[in-house]
Structure 1
């Protein structure tokens, strides 16, 4: 929580708790909630809540209609008034944190995996477990709940997921003697195809070393059976299993299976579109983009298996601040927002993958997305830790140094681990 830690943590928590305390005092003195809250004495919801979310598509007319339908239905069923505000993605952390600390933020807001543990670790989120006794949690994809849980407590419910996996150029698959219906499943099988692709003048795959480690390096760490850091602050990025990922990337780069500028590359669209890559890491957006361009035939494969079959895929969730004036209504909105019906509405418009198995039928008529939706069971949402965002540059820097040939995989992994430990010790 970099922005928060620029302030005195003591002052921050003090201000935040004062806000919470003020809210509680006003309730006890009046015998009920303030103007935003509801009187729960009759077991019914009332009052109002404010919901913050972001733009998820380029078509705000369609998206706006979706929100109108969801909110109108919720208001009619519960009697709770919903004040909806769409906030931009830019500077979202600053806006949310400023509002929460000042005790004038939303009652529900959208969060992503690297935000949730930061807020939860500071005691800023409402624990949802007490509100979910009547909710069928078995319908949620297990990996989607990873990003909503911090230290065995649930702070959000997931609304969307992604799953990154390889898209293969069918023409190149055939050119190297491969079968588009029998794609590589393991590291060893992929490596055999990589060698053949290199011999034919192609790159085997993309690697954007200048981009996020979530969709590039971390999947190899997880597939090797390793990890980055856990909630107990154990740094695992350089353990025996994680080291295999460093060695694998080093080998692929030296063999020329990935492009020369992979050290700092941000994306691979041009190489992929021009038919020079056997495979590229992609998600739902990549598939939609490919279908719109119609450049060549492609197929998608299950996530690779090293020691484990796993990949990356972000999760989006709705959470409530602990100082909401109407926690019962806020929790109910989160439950309703993420039910099967509303997941279908939301994800049909946004083209993300629902986090409920019962909502995935929205892609029954879209074979590529339907196939991709089956891979979310393997998709981890990144590093679920308050320092998840701040430690990524250390790992990226050492990975780039290794690929430049200035450090061995072990030296780079150890240096990354040491930098992470220093960062964690600050907190």
Structure 2
């Protein structure tokens, strides 16, 4: 039968077609309305084909491909404006969903972050380095997805070691006495009259290059609740005394250790005026490049010397990750958490080799198979990492206590008095 010869049949066909199209449109609209949108604010990462947000875009594409009901919108923050934009958004209560870095302790105490604990299994927590979880733990709950770690090490100018007939520490570990003895042998005046010191590390607010020695005898910075300064103990005073001795007793460190800047101390090392330097692992690639270009020197790396604590320790803020802001919709919260888990997964942490940093998870394995220095640092130094107190008032307290430590190092106050004064200043701030 020819439909065109029966108007009623044609009408029914047209109506059916219209209804079908309408149904498709309604279904599409509902699907679009049900689509979950995640707003990710991120500062630059490493360059991918010239794009410093290329890694983020790659992660988004991979996640969206396996989660068709989710779209991730990337807001690109520069290093210059990130803090201002985040603070403005928080003041306006217009939070992004996911942010890298930030102030997890402050935001958690303000009640604007989602706890991550419900999304972490026991196996997850066991897989993270302790310092990685410590960075995001506030009042017993975890408020972030750790991503990378970094730390401080002791750099060795092996050319100076060889010149002075000094052996570097076996496997990069040494006792305090061994460290001091080597530092004494490495302190001398060159033929040109230039003084070479055995070791250098700065003591400045918010820089922790000296704290691997300060805490080596078991001293602890603050109480569990972050409200009391705890370093004024025999262990803490002993650690400060070691720093004083390096300058005042053994004279293996420059007096400027108590006042010089980070950049100046590093320059002393790269210019050959220090045989050993405490500095971040970021310096490894710079020293490798200089050596390859023919204007560097042979170097090695080691852990901080082992004191009464019985193991090396390095204090560093070097844990980065992602926080999830408060969500009103449980389905969206689950989606944001799933995305955060994805970008920080062991598999995706392997890409951190592009950044010169280290994974926050142990199961990732060695991400630097072709770099002996970075591989050693990941294997031996990262496990020594502890982070500064997460209490929001710690930075202010740190700024208050360091001048007293500097006075002791410069020989202007006994270690015991400096520690008592530091305790008074710190508790005035921490106890607020």
* Shift in CA distance, 72/279, structure 1 to aligned 2, threshold 3 Å: same
2:75 corresponds in structure 1 to 85
CA positional deviation for 1:92: 4.0
Matches within 5 A, 1:16-415: 46-57=35-46, 61-78=50-67, 79-90=69-80, 92-111=82-101, 115-133=103-121, 136-180=124-168, 182=170, 185-199=174-188, 201-210=195-204, 212-216=206-210, 218-232=211-225, 233-254=227-248, 255-267=250-262, 268-294=265-291, 295-308=296-309, 309-313=312-316, 314-323=318-327, 326-345=332-351, 347-374=352-379, 375-415=381-421
Q: Which residue of 1 aligns with 2:25?
A: none
Pairwise CA distance, 1:223? 1.6
Residue 89 of structure 1 deviates from its aligned partner by: 3.1
Q: TM-score, normalised by structure 2?
A: 0.82
| Count of residues in Structure 1 that have an aligned counterpart in Structure 2 | 381
Q: Distance in 2 between matches of 1:177 and 1:38?
A: 73
Q: 2:422 aligns with which of 411, 416, 424?
A: 416
Per-residue deviation at 1:59?
Answer: 7.2
Q: 1:151–1:231: 8 Å Cα contact kept in structure 2?
A: no
Q: CA deviation at 1:349?
A: 2.0
Structure 2: 5+ residue runs without aligned partners? 1-29, 190-194
Greater relative contact order (Cα < 8 A, sep 6+) = 1
- Return 282-291 or 82-91, whichever deviates more: 82-91
Q: Which has the larger radius of gyration?
A: 2
- Per-residue deviation at 1:62? 4.8
2: CA distance, partners of 1:58 / 1:74: 20
- Tell me how far apart the structure 1 counterparts of residues 76 and 348 of structure 2 sit (CA, whole Å): 18
Deviations 1:61-108 (A, max 9, x none): 253322221111111222311111232334644432331232212101
Cα RMSD (Å) of the superposition? 2.4
Contact 1:160 1:354 in 2 (8 A): yes
Structure 2 CA distance, aligned partners of 1:190 and 1:257?
11
| 1:131-167 Cα distance to aligned partner (Å, 9 max, x none) | 2349733322222211121222111111110121111
